[in-house]
Amino acid sequence: MCYNFGMLKLVVTAFIIILMALSCPAFAAESPASSVMTPAEALSALKEVIPEVKVIEVNATPVQGLFEVVVETKGQKGIVYLDSSRKYLVSGSLVDIGAKRNLTQEKSYEINKVNVSEIPLDDALVMGDRNAAKKVIVFSDPD
């Protein structure tokens, strides 16, 4: 048999270059769906798992392809994570190991913050000076 080694070498080299280009992130095209997720897209994915869910906002995370989804269900706000394919739901904490920060906990504090100046105290049981500089508000359930 007679092989044309020049042509074989050219085909193998071209194959290797194509393989390298496809595996290198600089050459791989990222689909628009993987870099952005709208609240409507998140709702579409979540309503199968959490029927009465309301999506408040969607944010990118430091993890490529993972989105933070702030949700509300039955009056409670929470955070879940969806991947860019909208096939996987992650429920739990996202922790930045290097910075030693719980990103989920920080966002949870932010979305559940209560402005105490907006709490109506007209019908409240007041102990002490109603116009005091500092106030302590106690919530209790007698049942």
The domains of the chain, with CATH numbers, are 32-116 (3.10.450.70)
Type of residue numbered 72: E
Q: Which residue has the tokens 């007698």?
A: 142
Which pLDDT score is estimated for 22? Answer: 53
CA distances from 79 to 6, 51, 69, 86, 104 (A): 59, 16, 6, 15, 7
Burial 121-142 (b: 16+ CB within 10 A, else e): eeeeeeeeeeeeeeeeeeeeee
Which pLDDT score is estimated for 118? Answer: 86
At 52-64, the pLDDT tens digits run 999 999 999 999 9
Which pLDDT score is estimated for 11? Answer: 54
At 37-47, the pLDDT tens digits run 999 999 999 99
